[in-house]
Amino acid sequence: MRSKSNNPVSQILLGGVLVLFVVLGGRLVYINAYQGTALLARAERQQQSIIPLKHRRGLVVDCRGRMIAGTMLRKSVFADPKVIEDKDAAARTVAEILGVSPEEIAPDLNAAEGNRFMVIRRGVDDEQAQMIRDANIYGIGLFDEPYRVYPMNQLAAALVGFVSPDGVGVSGLEYQCESWLRGEDGLKTIVRDARRKAFWLADGGYRPARDGFHVLLTIDAEIQATTERELAKCIEQYKAESAVGIVMHAQSGAILAMATSPGFDPNHYLDFGPVRYRNRAITDPYEPGSTFKPFVAAAAMEEKVVRLGEVFDCENGAWQDGARLLHDHHPYGALSFEDVLIKSSNIGMAKIGKRLGNDRLHRYMRAYGFGSKSGIDLVGEDSGILQPFNRWNSFTTTSIPMGQEIGTTPLQLARAFCVFANGGMLVQPYLIRAVLAPDGRVLNDFSNPPPERRVVSEAVAKTMREKILSQVVEIGTGTKSKLAQYSVFGKTGTAQIARRGGGGYEPDAYVSSFIAGAPTKDPQLVVMVAVTRPKKSIAYYGGTVAAPVVREILAHALAYLQIAPDRPDGRTVASVEADGVGGD
pLDDT in tens, 176-224: 999 999 999 888 777 765 555 555 555 667 888 899 999 999 999 999 9
Domains (range + CATH), the chain: 51-83+118-217 (3.90.1310.10), 221-583 (3.40.710.10)
User: pLDDT category, 582, cuts 50, 70, 90?
Assistant: very low
| Comparison of pLDDT for 84 and 116, the residue scoring more | 84
- Per-range mean pLDDT, top range of 1-10, 190-199, 571-580: 190-199
Q: What is the pLDDT of residue 131?
A: 93
d(CA 339, CA 329): 14
CA atoms within 13 A on the CB side of 29: 6
Percent of the chain with pLDDT over 90: 69
How many other C-beta atoms are found inside a 10 Å radius of the C-beta of residue 438? 15
Average pLDDT over residues 88-114: 84
pLDDT in tens, 393-447: 999 999 999 999 999 999 999 999 999 999 999 999 999 999 999 999 999 999 9
The H or E element spanning position 326 is: strand 324-327
Q: Which residues pair with 217 in a beta bridge?
A: 432
Parallel, antiparallel, or unpaired for β 60-61 and 214-217?
parallel
Compute the 3-state secondary structure of the chain and give helix, strand, coil in percent, each to the nearest 5. Answer: 40, 25, 35
Q: What is the pLDDT of residue 2?
A: 44
User: pLDDT category, 47, cuts 50, 70, 90?
Assistant: low
DSSP code, position 235:
H
Residues 494, 540: contact at Cβ < 8 Å?
A: yes
Q: Is the pLDDT of residue 574 over 50?
A: no
DSSP secondary structure of 98-156: HTS-HHHHHHHHTS-TT---EEEESS--HHHHHHHHHH--TTEEEEEEEEEE-TTTTTT
d(CA 215, CA 258): 17
Q: Is the pLDDT of residue 39 over 50?
A: no
Average pLDDT over residues 472-496: 95
pLDDT in tens, 324-333: 899 998 999 9
Q: What is the pLDDT of residue 456?
A: 98
Q: How far is CA 35 from CA 39, 45, 82, in A?
A: 6, 15, 18
Q: Is the pLDDT of residue 580 over 50?
A: no
C-alpha 289: how far from chain center:
27
Average pLDDT over residues 134-163: 92
Q: Is the pLDDT of residue 287 over 50?
A: yes
Q: Which residues pair with 498 in a beta bridge?
A: 505
User: pLDDT category, 109, cuts 50, 70, 90?
Assistant: confident
Q: Is the pLDDT of residue 23 over 80?
A: no
Percent of the chain with pLDDT over 70: 86
pLDDT in tens, 459-481: 999 999 999 999 999 999 999 99
User: pLDDT category, 238, cuts 50, 70, 90?
Assistant: very high
3-state SS, residue 368: coil
Q: Is the pLDDT of residue 355 over 90?
A: yes
d(CA 238, CA 532): 10
* Burial classification of residue 275, based on how many CB atoms lie within 10 Å of its CB (0-12 exposed, 13-18 middle, 19 or more buried): exposed
Q: Which of 410, 332, 374 minimizes the C-alpha distance to 581?
A: 332
pLDDT in tens, 315-325: 999 999 888 89
DSSP secondary structure of 142-199: EEEEEEEE-TTTTTTHHHH--B-TTS-B-SHHHHHTHHHH--B-EEEEEEE-TT--EE
Least trusted range by pLDDT, from 36-40, 394-398, 540-544: 36-40
